[in-house]
């Protein structure tokens, strides 16, 4: 069964850091551009970052550029999101999924079903 498994979320104070992991289950992650998406309370899911199959291109939404870094290790079938200098507005459930860059950020291609996501809470 094609599936993403996200992990690494938790509670962090403003200015702190978290590293999220996305592991592909049942398929080869290297075949896809993979991105991170988040859904904040009361808001729709938005694209955060997208990385190409061979890490040749990375794209970010403006609100996280310079603070978040997406990376991948195809040998481990895993994509990561390093989140630094986190802000309260980064709070939400984070998901990984197939992606495509857009003029203003990142969009999902919907090729693989969403996983359960991992909760990220930034609070004082």
- Kindly report, residue by residue over 5-18, the tens digit of the pLDDT: 999 999 999 999 99
pLDDT, residue 54, reads: 87
CA pair distance 58, 56, nearest whole angstrom = 7
Strand ranges across the sheet with 18-25: 3-7, 18-25, 78-83, 68-73
Give the 3-state secondary structure of residue 95.
strand
| Residue percentage of the chain with pLDDT more than 90 | 85
pLDDT, residue 56, reads: 86
pLDDT, residue 5, reads: 96
pLDDT, residue 111, reads: 83
pLDDT, residue 104, reads: 85
Q: Are 122 and 90 in contact (CB under 8 A)?
A: yes
| Backbone dihedral angles phi then psi of residue 75, each to the nearest 5 degrees | -65, -30
Q: Which residue has the higher pLDDT, 95 or 113?
A: 95
Res. 67 pLDDT band, cuts 50 70 90: very high
């Amino acid at each position: 069964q094609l599936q993403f498994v996200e992990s690494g979320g938790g509670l962090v104070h403003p200015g702190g850091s978290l590293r999220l992991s996305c592991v592909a289950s049942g398929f080869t992650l290297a075949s896809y551009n993979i991105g991170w998406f988040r859904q904040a309370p009361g808001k729709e899911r938005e694209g955060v970052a997208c990385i190409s199959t061979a890490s040749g291109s990375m794209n970010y939404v403006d609100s996280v550029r310079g603070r978040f870094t997406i990376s991948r290790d195809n040998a481990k079938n895993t994509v990561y999101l390093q989140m630094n200098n986190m802000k309260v507005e980064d709070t939400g459930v984070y998901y990984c999924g197939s992606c495509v860059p857009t003029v203003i950020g990142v969009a999902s291609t919907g090729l693989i079903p969403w996983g359960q996501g991992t909760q990220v809470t930034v609070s004082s």
